[in-house]
Structure 1
């Protein structure tokens, strides 16, 4: 189960811009709602566009394990903005051949849970993944961006149960879509990271 970054924060989470604070201070009753500024990907994108080809290809391989996909993404730089980069990612993903998808699946990280997850959760996930891999011959992948970390185990178990009922062709299509979603999520994470040492130019 690949770990997914930047999951949404609940509206009532401490420190969340939309939560209520001191009634007399920002966020109190009658105060205008505060909205967190969107992440600026321009710095990361500019850095990424100027990386040597081999470095860019290696970075893309962290987003999707298909060498053909990563090579194509690195070769099509520069990208004018994040939207263009994500559109190119989708297009390259739709063009993957079965062998490319198999290569990407083989590169996916092994399932892991937080150390404090109950033993029963580890055992249930291990059994579910084994059943899935026995049926389809490859790792189970799912993008969990829309879910909080506390929901990950339940979402994976539910996803495996549903997808075990798929036939091979149907599951191949679902798996390819999940790989595309994972690639998009990882690209956004990659560009959001500050490429400058210690945050300075």
Structure 2
């Protein structure tokens, strides 16, 4: 029997992607990666439980959906683990004092760290953006601020998830 040829092309198996590795990772490992993105166990478990994801976009959509569904307790858990964004290297001392004072006022008013997504923002604009954000959001009532903080957490988690996948070679 002679072998049949199919147009002279050789089938080359595709290499696994970072998404493939995430999809097949043990649940505990996937949850660990996710918890580095957002410190909500319910959020991480939900995303890990719905694997495999056919595309990165599907994973990010699931991340967004799970973030929108955070309960008040889940949100409190995630906010408790957040820290203030780092100032750019070389920021002058008065900037640190202004940031510390604004953050202290924010924490005193709302009981959790100020969260703001800085994705896509040039480093030299970060300080002004954070300070303006804190000052502006200090005028929110506590319920309104929880909604804003939840949205910022969702954006931060999404950015961290993308960075984690990129860092792993995506």
How high is the TM-score relative to the length of structure 2? 0.86
Output one character per residue of 1:112-170: Cα deviation in whole Å (capped at 9) or x when no partner.
32442100111000000000001111110000113111111000000011100111111
How many Å separate the matches in 1 of 2:157 and 2:130?
A: 18
Where 1:138 maps in the other structure, the secondary structure is coil
Count of paired positions: 155
Change in 2 beyond 3 A, CA 1:109/1:43? farther
Counterparts of 1:134-153 in structure 2, within 5 Å, are 134-153=108-127
Q: Which moved more, 1:111-120 or 1:82-91?
A: 111-120
- Larger radius of gyration, structure 1 or 2? 2
Q: CA RMSD in A?
A: 1.6
Per the alignment, residue 21 of structure 2 pairs with: 47
Counterparts of 1:43-192 in structure 2, within 5 Å, are 43-192=17-166
How many Å separate the matches in 2 of 1:89 and 1:60?
A: 9
CA apart distance, 1:108: 1.3
Higher relative contact order (CA 8 A, sep 6+): 1
- Kindly indicate whether the alpha-carbon contact (under 8 Å) linking 1:89 and 1:184 is maintained by their aligned counterparts in 2: yes
- Kindly indicate whether the alpha-carbon contact (under 8 Å) linking 1:47 and 1:195 is maintained by their aligned counterparts in 2: no
Structure 2 unpaired stretches of 5+:
1-15
How many Å separate the matches in 1 of 2:65 and 2:121?
A: 25
Q: More helix by proportion, 1 or 2?
A: 2
Q: Which runs of 4+ in 1 moved over 6 A?
A: none
